[in-house]
Amino acid sequence: MKLTKLSGALGAEITQTDLNILTSDGFTSLRDALFEHGVLAIRDQSLTPDAHIALAEHFGTIDINRFFTPVASHPNIAEVRTAPDMKRVIGGTWHTDHSYDPAPAMCSILAARVLPPYGGDTLFASMTVAYEGLSEGFKETLKSLKAVHSDSSFAQSNVGIDADDTAFRAPTVHPVVIAHPATGAPCLYVNGDFTTKFQGWTPEESAPLLAMLYAHATRPEYTCRIAWRPGSVAIWDNRLVQHFACADYAGHARLMHRITVEGERLPSYRAPS
């Protein structure tokens, strides 16, 4: 397996590996690379749906998304589909998958199935590098805060969402600065799609500080970009990164298959004393 960094902040491209025949040692190397780089672009695969499921199950239990359309033959894989006449795309704003759940998704694994002739890249931003880019005083303030996350934005979305009223759940609360459950690294954990306010603050009081954090967290120097090619598979750690699907291929179709893997409740970050 060959690994090449994608940017100074995060991301790595992986070649010379075959996800269809991943060994236990191969999986350990992949998971370690994921925790180090936040997102992996694995090139030149012919990942079958069954191998996609097997790869996800190496990481943990599959977390079936309750809002997305399932793949008919494999209902634990979600479709991320853009029809040529769609004006907006699924995931076309910066977000963290499943942050509205009490134990949010650990990682997501996206496999390219139909790609437009140009565009359709996915951008990623490192929430550890973004956190490190803040002043010590502001970090202290953020570490004392929690934020409310909700799936309510799906109620306004008409982009490829296949859910009825029973899909919606009560809002949940996470620390604004989490400790990554595997490495302990501090990660900023608020996102524009699902964070509604700081706990104990009104939405109006929360909005200016959240807007500042979203703008900060997605500064270009904290990002990398995956340009999809046939056979590409991306894996990202939802605690370490946010992502954004670029809607710049109007008139063309795009189809991706996504699996998310269950995570755990997110602890607050406490700096070592």
**# residues contacting ligand SIN (CB under 6 A):** 10
Instruction: Check if the beta carbon of residue 243 is closer than 8 Å to that of residue 91.
Output: yes
In whole angstroms, the minimum distance from the beta carbon of 122 to ligand SIN comes to 4
Alpha-carbon gap, residue 265 to 103, rounded angstroms? 4
Site string for ligand SIN, 22-61 (x = CB under 6 A): ----------------------------------------
The 157-196 contact track toward ligand SIN, x by CB under 6 A, reads: ----------------------------------------
- The residue with tokens 């490190």 is 132
* Least Cβ distance, residue 267 to ligand SIN (angstroms): 25
Pick one of 45, 99, 122, 172: the residue that binds ligand SIN (CB under 6 A): 122
* DSSP label of 67: S
3-state secondary structure of 39: strand
Residue among 209 and 247 whose Cβ is closer to ligand SIN: 247
CB of 90 to ligand SIN, least distance (A): 5
Whether residue 98 lies in the annotated active site: no
The span from the CA of 92 to the CA of 72, in Å, is: 24
Say if CB 124 and CB 238 are below 8 A apart.
no
Q: Is 52 a catalytic residue?
A: no
Amino acid letter at 212?
A: M
**Catalytic pick from 52, 98, 254, 258?**
258
Considering the candidates 52, 81, 95, 254, report the single residue annotated as catalytic: 95
Distance in Å, CB of 243 to ligand SIN, minimum: 6
Among 40, 71, 90, 148, binds ligand SIN (CB under 6 A): 90
**235: Cβ contacts below 8 Å, ≥ 6 apart:** 30, 34, 39, 40, 42, 107, 108, 109, 110
Tally: H helices and E strands in the chain: 6, 16
Strand-pair partners of 236: 39, 108
Residue 197: count other Cβ atoms within 10 Å of its Cβ.
20
**What is the bridge-based pairing of β-strands 2-5 and 195-198?**
unpaired
Residue type, 187: C
Q: Which positions from 206 through 265 interact with ligand SIN, judged by CB under 6 A?
A: 243, 245, 256, 258
- Residue sitting closest to ligand SIN (CB): 91
Helices (H), 47-135: 49-59, 127-132
Tell me, yes or no, if 243 is annotated catalytic. Answer: yes
Taking CB under 6 A as the rule, does residue 91 contact ligand SIN? yes
Q: Measured from the CB of residue 59, what is the shortest distance to ligand SIN in angstroms?
A: 16
Query: Is 74 marked active-site?
Result: no
Give CA 247 to chain center in angstroms.
Answer: 17
Residue tagged active-site, from 37, 52, 63, 97: 97
At 210, phi and psi to the nearest 5? Answer: -60, -45
Q: Which is nearer to ligand SIN, 52 or 179 (CB)?
A: 52
Among 149, 243, 254, 257, which one carries the catalytic annotation?
243
Site residues for ligand SIN per CB under 6 A: 80, 90-91, 108, 110, 122, 243, 245, 256, 258
Q: Which positions are annotated as active-site residues? A: 95, 97, 243, 258
